[in-house]
Chain A
Amino acid sequence: GAVVSQHPSRVICKSGTSVKIECRSLDFQATTMFWYRQFPKKSLMLMATSNEGSKATYEQGVEKDKFLINHASLTLSTLTVTSAHPEDSSFYICSARGGGSTYEQYFGPGTRLTVT
């Protein structure tokens, strides 16, 4: 149980275009979803936390107008990278957490974004 899918797994886009990444919890309801970014050989960097039906909470230094997060349902959250630039190239990972007392986050497989 507790499977999280992420789509697409890889995407290459041109500079200036926008890219949408979907994160879905397949067999549980995710009250909270997290979006992370990871550069090569570096640890996870939390970008934002989103709760279903409310605005995402962004970490300091993360531009909310550039990284649009929508958590419209208990099983789907999307991250849109707007006007992408080469420096946005990275590995983006989502995770989801259900309700209850467990704080475990279930991770999606990640999306490798390359901006040319």
Chain B
Amino acid sequence: GQNIDQPTEMTATEGAIVQINCTYQTSGFNGLFWYQQHAGEAPTFLSYNVLDGLEEKGRFSSFLSRSKGYSYLLLKELQMKDSASYLCAVVDSNYQLIWGAGTKLIIKP
């Protein structure tokens, strides 16, 4: 079966750095997305990785290792508004998005 694992919940301090991990086992791989979802709202796109390595975009960076079936989202200089759920999703061999359950990130002052 297809499976995406990410921690259920994480807590971090305002101004700090946090890394949210995602591991996957899917039938094929055509890229990995990270989305941010605030409570009661729809997901918004953060990043897309299809090649190995680190993609940096402002305070957010995303890393991919296809051989390890592993990705992480790195958030720097955390702000209170970063409190949200972060969803990892993999594009499988049928070009469908397989979603992780999401990681709820709680930022404390």
Q: A43-B102, A44-B87, A49-B96 are contacts. A104–B42 as well, Cβ < 8 Å?
A: no
Q: How far is the CA of A104 from the CA of B34 in the complex (A)?
A: 10
Q: Assess the B91–A103 pair: CB atoms within 8 A.
A: yes
Q: Which A1-58 residues have C-beta < 8 A from chain B?
A: 6, 34, 41-44, 46, 49
B54-109 with Cβ < 8 A to chain A: 87, 91, 95-97, 99-102, 104
A108 at the interface (CB under 8 A from B): yes
| CB-contact partner of B30 in A42, A46, A103, under 8 A | A103
Query: Would B100 and A43 count as touching, CB distance under 8 A?
Result: yes
Known: A104-B33, A104-B48. A43 touches B99 (CB 8 A): yes
Is B7 interfacial (CB-CB < 8 Å)? Answer: no
Complex Cα gap A49–B91 (Å): 14
Interface size class of A (residues with CB under 8 A): 20 to 34
Q: How far is the CB of A95 from chain B (nearest CB, A)?
A: 8
Collect the chain A residues with CB atoms within 8 Å of residue B43's CB: 44, 93, 107
Chain A contact residues, majority secondary structure = loop
Interface range for B: 20 to 34
Interface flag for A110 (CB, 8 Å): yes
A42 to B45, CA, bound (A): 18
Known: A103-B30, A103-B91. Is A109-B101 also a contact (CB below 8 A)?
Answer: no
- B86 → chain A, closest Cβ, in Å? 11
In the bound complex, how far is the Cα of B104 from the Cα of A108, in angstroms? 21
Contact B102 A108 (CB under 8 A): no
Residues in A with CB closer than 8 Å to B13 are: none
Are B40 and A43 in contact (CB-based, < 8 A)? no
Partner of A109, one of B42, B87, B91, B102: B42
Tell me whether A91 and B40 are in contact in the complex, defined as CB-CB below 8 angstroms, given that A104-B33, A104-B48 are known contacts: yes
Hey, which chain B residues are within 8 Å of A112, CB to CB?
40
